[in-house]
Structure 1
C-alpha cells in the first residue's frame, strides 16, 4: 500500500498506542494583530495536545544563521533534533497544527506541512499530516492530554533528497524552461499585485507562474481536504500533474508552498520542489523580475 501523506483523525486515534507512530505538534500562531506576530504554540501545547505528541518548535528547527525566517535547517542539525524527539528511520511521523493564521476564513495545515516538507527533504519516508489538524480533533471531541512525554533518542540514517529543494537560481532558470512550471501559492489578490506586503514596486508574482492558493484546498469548516478529483482540477492550468513537468512552488517564506507540495505528493507527483526563500528572498534582489496580472487562474 502506498504511503498516505494525509491521515484521518480516526486513523490516528486508532494508532495512538502504536510505538512506531510519533505525533508531532508543529503549531505556530501567525497573528497580525498580536505584538508577537509569529509565535510558537508552546503555551497551547502545554494545556492541550493529542496524547503522546511532542512539540516541534519550527523556529528551532530552522537555520538559526539564515537571514530569512523558517529557512531549512542544515541536515546534521535538523536530523539531530528529530532524533531528540524519538524519531528513527522506522518511525511514522504524523504532524498537526492549529491552522494557518489567526482570524482567516480558510483552513490549511501549513505549519505541519512545512515540517513535513523539511522531513521529506532531509530523507525521511514515513511522514504524514493529520487532516484537519488540532481544530478538527477538538471539534470531534477526541481524547486530549496535558502530559508531556520524553522519548528515548531515536536513530536516523538518511540522505537529503535535493530534488525537493529549489533555490533562487533554480527559479530563475525555470522562467525560461518549458519543462519546469512555477506555482504561486499565495492569495489571488497578492498574486495579481493588489496586495503588496513587500512594497508597491515589488507587488505581483514571479513571471510564468500560475496561482494556486494554498487556502483553497480544504473545507473551511472541517479542515478536510476537498476530493482528489477537485484537488486535481486546481492544478490543470499549471500542468502540475504531468509526469513530464517539473514543478517549483513558492509563497511568502516557503510555508504555504509546503502545503501545496504535500498535496501534490498525495496526488502522486514526484518531481516537485519548494523554493525555500520564496518571495521574501526574491523581492530583495533587484535582478529578480516581478510582474502583475489581472488573470486569476485559481478556481
Structure 2
C-alpha cells in the first residue's frame, strides 16, 4: 500500500488477521482518562489502547514541549508486548479527526515500522457504518519489536534555529490561525509563531465529513510549496503537526520533518524571536 491510510472496509476485512494489530488512540486534551474510559466501554475488536500521554509522550521538563517524544526503547517494548514485530501491519485510529492516531503513526514510522497506517475515518465513522464493536480486552501474544530509528524525521530546537530563513526550507505552523497570529493562546504562556513560518491548519487535511482528503486534494492544498524544499512542521506540542505530515506524505512530499517540541518548546526559551504577522 503506497498510501498512509486504510479504509474502513479494509480493516473490516482484516479484523481477524493474526498479523494485523489495531491501536485505539482516543484521547481528549484536558480529560486524560476519557479516551481510556471510552475504549473500555467499546472499541474495534482486537484493538489495544494507546494513551497519548502515557505511551506516546515522555516526561515533561522545563524544555522540550508539552508532549515530548517518549523513551523509544520503552515504546518499542510496549509495542512488542502487544504482539507487534517487523512483519506486523499496524492500523491506528482515534475519534479526534486523526490527530492522536497520526501521532502514533508518526512514532511507529520514526521507529522504522513502515507497515503502519491510519484508519481513513474515526471511531465514530466506524460505529455509524455498523461495523463490529466490543468491550472485550484482547489478550496479547508478545513478540520482539526491534526499532530502527529514522533520526532524519525529527528536528529539535537547534536544528530549527539553523534553518530559519534559509533558502530551500519551509516551516509550517499547524495550529489554528488565531494562535499562529498571536491573537490568542489558550494553552502556552506566549502567543505567536516561529519567524518565517507559514500557516496550514491541520484540520484542513480533512473533508467536511471528517475523513481524509485524497492525495490529489492534499496536493492542491500544498500547491504553493516546492516539493524539493525541506519542510519542517510544528504545532503546539508535536501532536497535531503529525496529521499535516501525513497529508504532505499523501501529497507526495518526502523531505518532511517534525519539530518535536513545537511551539511549547520554542516559547520556553525567553530569548527566542517571536512573530505575530503573516510573512514574518
Match of 1:204 in 2: 192
Q: Per the alignment, in what secondary structure is the counterpart of residue 28 of structure 2?
A: strand
Q: Which residue of 2 aligns with 1:48?
A: 42
Please state whether the residue corresponding to 1:28 is helix, strand or coil: coil
Instruction: State the partner residue of 2:19.
Output: 20
Q: Closer, same or farther in 2 for the Cα pair 1:273/1:81, shift >3 Å?
A: same
Matched pairs, number: 275
CA shift digits 1:9-29 (9 cap, x unpaired): 011101111111111101101
Decide which of 212, 223, 230 is 1:225's aligned counterpart. Answer: 212
Partner of 1:268: 252
Of 175, 185, 201, the match for 2:174: 185
The answer as to whether partners of 1:3 and 1:126 remain within 8 angstroms in 2 is no
Q: How does 1:101-250 map to 2 (within 5 A)?
A: 108-197=97-186, 198-199=188-189, 202-221=190-209, 223-239=210-226, 242=227, 244-250=228-234
Provide, for residues 195-217 of structure 1, a one-character-per-residue CA deviation record: whole Å limited to 9, x for no partner: 22335xx3221111111100111
Q: What runs of 5+ residues in structure 1 fail to find an aligned partner? A: 31-35, 100-107
Q: CA RMSD in A?
A: 1.7
Query: C-alpha separation between the residues in 2 aligned to 1:196 and 1:53?
Result: 35
Give TM-score, length-normalised by structure 1: 0.87
- Distance between the aligned counterparts of 2:19 and 2:58, measured in 1? 30
Q: Distance in 1 between matches of 2:75 and 2:219?
A: 32
What SS class does the counterpart of residue 23 from structure 1 fall into?
strand
Q: Post-superposition shift, 1:40?
A: 4.8
1:81-107 deviation per Cα after TM superposition (whole angstroms, max 9, x unaligned):
1111111111110000011xxxxxxxx
> Contact (CA 8 Å) 2:66, 2:265: kept in 1 or not?
no
Instruction: Give 5+ residue unaligned stretches, structure 2.
Output: none
Q: Quick check: 1:84 aligned with 2:81?
A: yes
In 2, Cα distance between equivalents of 1:236 and 1:290: 27
Contact 2:173 2:200 in 1 (8 A): yes
The equivalent of 1:3 in structure 2 is: 2
Distance 2:34 2:77 in 1: 20
Q: How many Å apart are 1:294 and its aligned residue?
A: 4.8
| Partner residue, 1:75 | 72
Structure 1 residues 11-65: Cα deviation after superposition (integer angstroms, max 9, x where no partner): 11011111111111011013xxxxx444451111111100111111222224543
Structure-1 separation of matches of 2:21 and 2:178: 38
Q: CA deviation at 1:226?
A: 2.1
Partner of 2:242, secondary structure, is: helix
Whether the aligned pair in 2 keeps the contact of 1:163 and 1:271 (CA below 8 Å) is no
Ranges of 4+ aligned residues in structure 1 off by more than 4 Å: none
TM-score by length of 2: 0.92
